[in-house]
Structure 1
């Protein structure tokens, strides 16, 4: 796709390549209202509830693994934000 002209009609911007067009895209910015720890803990709780609905098997184990990872991430984030805690064991 190099060398092709890509037009952005809404803004009247022309790019020489697709790579140039991607470089100018704006990111969606979201102001978080809850802490990362709270969001990860909520995700872990939702995943555990989903796993309870499933019969024993590979899918249930995969969901429980994701829940454990979310809980671990919440604890690590809490540990990183605390100045006086010892490193995890």
Structure 2
């Protein structure tokens, strides 16, 4: 029986970096779309991901300083 090791993310691929990349990807997708519900959903999701990144930064900061 062969056990597969779970691949860990690359060192440069932090959670914050992956969030930023996903938001950028969603904005790129929305850029090529006509105005409409799907485009709005993509941009809203990108904004939510940006907010998640800010919350993560705040939660992982030393001393839990309030976000600016």
Can you give the 5+ residue segments of structure 1 that lack an aligned partner in the other structure? 1-10, 12-25
Using the size of structure 2 for normalisation, the TM-score is 0.78
CA RMSD of aligned residues (A): 2.1
Aligned mate of 2:9, from 28, 32, 49: 32
Summarize deviations over 1:7-31 as a string: whole Å, max 9, x none.
xxxx6xxxxxxxxxxxxxx8x7331
Tell me: higher relative CO, structure 1 or 2? Use CA pairs within 8 A at least 6 residues apart: 2
Aligned residues: 64
Aligned to 1:52: 31
Taking the aligned partners of 1:30 and 1:63, their CA distance within structure 2 comes to: 29
Using the size of structure 1 for normalisation, the TM-score is 0.61
Q: Which has the higher helix share?
A: 2
Point out 4+ residue stretches in structure 1 off by more than 3 angstroms. none
Q: Which has the higher strand share?
A: 1
SS in structure 1 of the partner of residue 30 of structure 2: helix
